Chain A
Amino acid sequence: MTSKWIGKRVPRLDGPERVTGELKYMTDYHYNNMVWGRVLRPPYPYAKIKSMDTTRAKNLPGVIAVLTHEDIPGFNGFGIVVPDQPVLCEDVVRTTADAVALVAAETEEIAEEALALIDVDYERLDAVTDAEFAITEQAPKLHADGNIHSHVVIKNGEVEKAFQEADIILENTFHSPRQMHAFIETEGGWGILEKDGTLTIQCPGQYAYRDRLQIARALAWNPARIRVISSPVGGAFGGKDEITVQIYLALLALHTGGRPVKIHYKREESVIAGMKRHPFKVKMKTAAKKDGTLLANQVLAIADTGAYASLGGAVISLAIEHSCGPYKIPNVDLEGYCVYTNNGIAGAFRGFGVNQVCMGIETHMDMIAAELGIDPIEIRKKNVYHQGDVSSLGHVVKGSVGTWKTLEAAEKCDLWINREKYKAEISEPWKKRGVSIATSFHGVGMGIGLPDYGAASIQLLPGGRFEVGVGCEEIGGGNGTVYAQVAAEILQCDVTDIVVVQGDTSRTLDGGTVTASRSTYTGGRAVATAAPNMLNLLTKAAGEIFGVSEEQVRVADKKVVVYDADGKADSSLSFAEIYDYLYENRRDTRVEGHFMLPKEKKEIKGSGGAPHRLYGYLTHVVMVEVDTLTGETEVLRVVSIPDAGKVINPQGLEGQAEGGAVMGIGYALYEDTIIENGYHKTTNFSNYILPTVKDSPQIETFPVEELEETGPFGAKGIGEVVMIPIIAATISAIHDAVGVRIKHLPATPERVYAALKARKDQTNQSNEENVM
């Protein structure tokens, strides 16, 4: 079948309004008569609230409302899985990211002044700032159930026995950074109490329906009285998956006499209040036979979720599920803890725990290969599972698996074939180059135990265009254009005939989140399910108009064509004419499509939701240059080889691959939100180093397409794995260049320099010993 739209480089349909600044993000709206909202944060990471007095703030001219926990009509808590984060703290604060009170005022300045006039009497407590300590008996309990939010275990085979039989065993500990999402649009939006008593919340998010549920729970309102508009979003990467300011906006809007309330965090507030990536400590012990066959893997991962759970439990589950890489290891003993501390809050972030464990297994693959003298691609090819194989977790992998093909493509790419030549082309005599590879995978969708479905609506519009409505927000990846391509392909029209609406509880159906690498797969499949219903609606109407049976009518090339008994095209109607007919007869012009994500039937006991039915796969080849005098690393070239199933839009896929690669480089080399004793030392982008164009390497993307039968036209998801293997590949490339392995990320110049120096001191020492 030749496709008109699928697999084509269709430029973003929403491009013009984006490049001209005409697109209104939620924080760009303006309402006359507006008021400003602000949030009071505690000065301590852990303290009791002894008393609170808002009188002085309320008396400040220009202040419209000051709210505390007493003003919450419903449940004072939020959190996607366990709502353990207070909307407004009552008797204890557990992080400087907490919210204690809200203010609405005539101007932002007055609101700010009012915050300083809220008198809160705190009794400071000793903060728990180390996740390993938090697990111990001596640690103060931050929540009633203790400091362990979740504990997951996967066991398979006999690890101890395997370790005894192994020819080679490696054991290492890896530390990962507290990466910040650093979306360019900080958290913010509007809360408006409408004249009819309903509430409108305009706030960028990643799942409008769930945001609405969490708002309704705090307000003790029927969710139907709340409208959430959550798209477009100025970047999210998981950081807008949880509630950000929606509930604050809703509460304030109830107290401003109908005046719209705006909150828009400054970057400094976003750095403190916003979720971060979970820093992990990963202990890994991996065993192999002489020929490179993996025998066993033992993992202990501890994730610091900060003061509240959000999606921390799911993050550690996913980490453990992915901790053996896309390999078949017969004996595994995998254990993970998600732990509360007073270190800010961690939550969902692109990669969702897999980044942290991939660093461990891929570093070990490299070390084993080096030790045994096996080619790093060969050793991986030898151990990968294929579709239908049993994975390390002990389940049969049913979805499409492209790892082997991505490795083969890596083996054949110019950078890998000619790596010795490129490595020799150093820019300065004191710099050294290294080339390395790594591979990884990432589950698509929610895994077992969570509802996972997609939904889309298609409406025929006057003039013959179609409105495609999908709940999944446009967070940057271009899913709206993908939806239009899928719809246009099936409806036989132009992509420009499709108007896409996303992320609005009053205009789109509940179709789940824009997370978990799922929005192309799930939303696309939902559109592909709705579109045939629209074809039926069109052909049925045409059949009625011409008084022929539906079988004689087909949609082709932007019209509905009626065929005569000999199968010859007889007459046709435009979509606009069909619309007019339906409209005149007061008939419905809208259809829906619903899709339940396929799931594994049996959950692996204790795993917290593993396995997924479906994974996306990716291999990275990376070349770095390390300055041996300063320890500075530059990534010069990246080859990204994704298996995304069918690529619906190659330009969009490249966009993900390129953006993900650079985000991965940031993780590997520079980015870390520093929190000391519970206080954020990182304040803004002046001390949080984000990759700029100067740090961006040459990136090539070569997709292999291992078609997935359950996906729209064979597509899978790729939004997260695009940033994963590059982390380990970069660190291995540093090793290839200068011979040191950095296990504590990011690999800052200081860390690389210290490692180089330590190695030099060691060599000098052993030379001296040799002399003596």
Chain B
Amino acid sequence: MATIRFKVNGKEKVVDTHTTKTLLDVLRDDLYLTGSKECCGKGECGSCSVMINDEVVCSCLVLVGQVEGEDIKTVEGVGTSTNMDIIQEAFIKEGATQCGYCTPGFIVAARSFLNKIEKVPTLEEIEEGIAGNICRCTGYTKIVKAIQTAAEERFSRIGAAVTQGNLQGKGD
């Protein structure tokens, strides 16, 4: 057992646990952040996706000892039902969630993707951004559309901010 400190969604967390426990298990069992799901436990499906310092990783493949001092963002940190992120709004609008079990992983991957792009992405770029996530329900069409919608929204907001000479943050 060891005491491990790291940040989750902007808050300091201290957990006493085995250093070999996966980050996913710690998030779910110790911190009760159950948005991240386990599906394959082997890095094949992306339903456990979280961001570590803005990079998307499969939290089922990361041992908690490895994230000592790091900054982690889970789906719970992307937005809440009373204060949703544009990507979450777009998923609902476009019908990109069905059973929803894969959805948090897609939201994290899509949010990270949106953070990195500098222009409205092509369909191929969007597909690349979520190629590590599996969804068994939707057939992906509406997920891709949702990310496109959110990206367009993001850049139209930035566009508006630029014309107003007021570009702060990322525009979303």
Contact = CB atoms under 8 A, between A and B. Distances in A.
A28 B34 CA distance: 6
Contacts of A237: 136
Contacts of B74: 21
B6 interface: no
B91 A19 contact: yes
B140 A18 contact: no
Nearest to A638: B139
Interface string A697-708: 011000000000
Contacts of B92: 11-12, 15-16, 19
A686 B91 contact: no
A672 B91 CA distance: 31
B131 A235 contact: no
B95 interface: yes
B75 A654 contact: no
Q: Taking each of A16, A184, A264, A477, which has the highest tally of chain B beta carbons within 10 Å of its own beta carbon?
A: A184
A299 B108 CA distance: 49
A12 B37 contact: no
Interface stretch (A403-411, A550-558, A655-663, A733-741): A655-663
B141 interface: yes
A212 B44 CA distance: 34
A471 interface: no
B97 A233 contact: no
B13 interface: no
Interface in B76-123: 76, 78-81, 84, 88, 91-93, 95, 97-104, 107
A185 B101 contact: yes
Contact of A686 (B44, B78, B99): B44
A311 to B, nearest CB: 20
B57 interface: no
A22 B37 contact: no
Given A15-B97, A652-B95, A685 B134 contact: yes
Contacts of A690: 134, 136
Q: Number of contact residues on A: which range applies?
A: 35 or more
B32 A693 contact: no
A17 B79 CA distance: 11
Most buried by A among B101, B143, B144: B101
Q: How large is the interface on B (under 10, 10 to 19, 20 to 34, 35 or more residues)?
A: 35 or more
**Contact residues of A: prevailing secondary structure:** loop
Contacts of A661: 139
A651 interface: yes
Given A12-B97, A20-B84, A652-B95, A184 B138 contact: no
B100 to A, nearest CB: 4
Given A267-B39, A478-B98, A184 B139 contact: no
A572 interface: no
Nearest to B107: A19
Given A184-B47, A685-B134, A693-B140, A22 B35 contact: yes
Given A21-B75, A185-B101, A658-B139, 18 more contacts: A16-B84, A19-B97, A20-B79, A21-B33, A181-B136, A184-B47, A184-B102, A232-B99, A267-B40, A475-B99, A658-B140, A659-B137, A659-B138, A662-B139, A684-B42, A685-B44, A693-B127, A693-B133
Interface of A: 9, 11-12, 14-25, 28, 30, 181-186, 232-237, 264, 266-267, 475-478, 651-652, 654-655, 658-663, 684-686, 690, 692-694, 696, 698-699
